[in-house]
């Protein structure tokens, strides 16, 4: 079986040769004009849906004014939901009740009132834990870890660990100078063969050693 085959819908194969049907490469499983998904990003669900886009981002309809952009090598656990900006109700008036959606004659005008909505952006190599909720316009940097059940909004710095409701930064995974080095290295942009050759360093904790390998590759 090829190492890191981005074309496979189900990337995990058990020792007996059967595919793990609850896990998918999202770049293969999702065909949606408002989604952008990097290679090797996977999602796992104990009740795998027929429509992964609708399961993960239930309010993001084709042609919506916002996008969901997820980088490569992200890991998305069961129960994660992306609540994109089209889920919001207008809040300028006295009532937030969406009267316009119930009148076919005014539905298009109602939808037209939602413009310039913020995209939701997930950086490369993020791990989003079980049942986390990513709110409209959230922007996660590279290497972020989102704790189980967290409710995430706003900007999350590169290589931060966030948890809670509302999610707060618990700590950074590496000191700032190592974060800067990892962003320069950007291993997630490398060819698969190069990733394979440096795998012990990528999965290890020695940023300096990975940096040296990157310089001499």
Annotated catalytic residue within 20, 89, 130, 216: 89
Rounded distance between C-alpha atoms, residue 124 and residue 96, angstroms: 36
Backbone angles phi, psi at 44, to 5 degrees: -130, 140
**pTM of the shown model:** 0.93
pLDDT in tens, 92-119: 899 999 888 898 887 777 777 677 899 9
Torsion angle, CA of 23/25/28/31, rounded to 10 degrees? Answer: 80
Cα gap 7→124, rounded to integer Å? 18
**Backbone angles phi and psi of 14, in degrees to 5:** -75, 165
216 is known as an active-site residue: no
Over residues 13-48, the pLDDT tens digits come to 999 989 999 999 999 999 999 999 999 999 999 999
Residue 183 phi/psi, 5° resolution?
Answer: -70, -35
Domain 23-173, CATH class in plain words: mainly beta
Per-domain residue ranges for the chain? 23-173, 174-217
pLDDT score of 149 more than 50? yes
For helices 176-185 and 207-216, angle between their N-to-C axes, nearest 10 degrees: 30
Neighbours of 174 (CB within 10 A): 16
């Amino acid at each position: 079986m090829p190492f890191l085959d981005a074309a496979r819908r189900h990337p995990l194969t058990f020792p007996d040769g059967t595919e793990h049907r609850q896990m998918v490469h999202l770049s293969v499983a999702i065909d949606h004009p408002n989604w952008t998904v990097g290679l090797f990003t996977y999602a796992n669900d104990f009740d795998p849906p027929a429509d992964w886009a609708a399961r993960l981002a239930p309010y993001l309809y084709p042609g919506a004014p916002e996008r969901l952009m997820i980088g490569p090598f992200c890991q998305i656990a069961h129960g994660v939901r992306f609540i994109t900006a089209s889920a919001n109700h207008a809040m300028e008036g006295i009532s937030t009740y969406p009267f316009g959606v119930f009148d076919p004659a005014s539905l298009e005008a109602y939808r037209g009132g939602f413009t310039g909505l913020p995209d939701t952006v997930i950086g490369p190599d993020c791990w989003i834990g079980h049942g986390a909720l990513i709110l409209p316009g959230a922007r996660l940097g590279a290497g972020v870890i989102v704790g189980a059940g967290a409710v995430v909004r706003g900007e999350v710095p590169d290589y931060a660990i966030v948890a809670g409701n509302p999610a707060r930064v618990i700590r950074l995974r590496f000191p700032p100078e190592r974060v800067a080095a990892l962003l320069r290295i950007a291993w997630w942009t490398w060819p698969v063969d190069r990733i394979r050759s440096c795998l012990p360093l990528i999965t290890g904790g020695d940023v300096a050693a990975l940096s040296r390998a990157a310089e001499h590759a």
